[in-house]
């Protein structure tokens, strides 16, 4: 089961990152073109958000199952940058990033001015995207 969760989390990472970029670019184009924010634009933002939520759920599962997650969180392992990344930095930063995505999306739903609604999505998703990239275990993922 642990291996299944690890593979799912690793595979979903591609889809989530693609989904966030898609939502980001479509909101940016919307803002720059000055068009009205429609139901279609809300759904384009929703794509990135739902994928992020699914990855959050799977990530929490991996965190409890994997030997690199919670079970490796201790004072001793904090001195090792790779252990700290898996047990602390990657989970923490990604939870914050996904919270930002959720805030950006719900603000876009509540705001009334089209440009602000697009901006809420591209700003929050953009910041979240950079945060997520900053804490990916690249060596493990792409090898």
Residues that bind ligand HEM in the complex, under the rule CB under 6 A: 6, 9-10, 13, 16-17, 46, 50, 52-57, 59-60, 62-63, 66, 68-69, 86, 90-91, 94-95, 102, 106, 132, 136-137, 140-141
Q: Which is nearer to ligand HEM, 32 or 57 (CB)?
A: 57
Q: Which is nearer to ligand HEM, 77 or 106 (CB)?
A: 106
* Cα gap 107→114, rounded to integer Å: 12
Closest CB 118 distance from ligand HEM, rounded Å: 16
Instruction: State the residue number with the nearest CB to ligand HEM.
Output: 59
Q: Which is nearer to ligand HEM, 25 or 88 (CB)?
A: 88
């Amino acid at each position: 089961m642990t291996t299944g969760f690890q593979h799912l989390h690793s595979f979903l990472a591609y889809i989530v990152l693609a989904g966030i970029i898609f939502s980001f670019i479509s909101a940016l184009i919307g803002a720059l073109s000055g068009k009205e924010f429609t139901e279609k634009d809300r759904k384009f933002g929703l794509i990135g958000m739902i994928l992020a939520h699914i990855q959050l759920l799977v990530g929490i599962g991996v965190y409890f199952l994997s030997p690199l997650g919670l079970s490796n969180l201790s004072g001793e392992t904090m001195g090792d940058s790779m252990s700290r990344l898996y047990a602390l930095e990657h989970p923490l930063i990604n939870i914050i990033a996904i919270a930002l995505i959720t805030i950006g999306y719900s603000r876009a739903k509540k705001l009334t001015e089209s440009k602000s609604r697009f901006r809420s999505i591209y700003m929050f998703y953009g910041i979240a995207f950079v945060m997520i990239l900053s804490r990916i275990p690249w060596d493990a993922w792409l090898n």
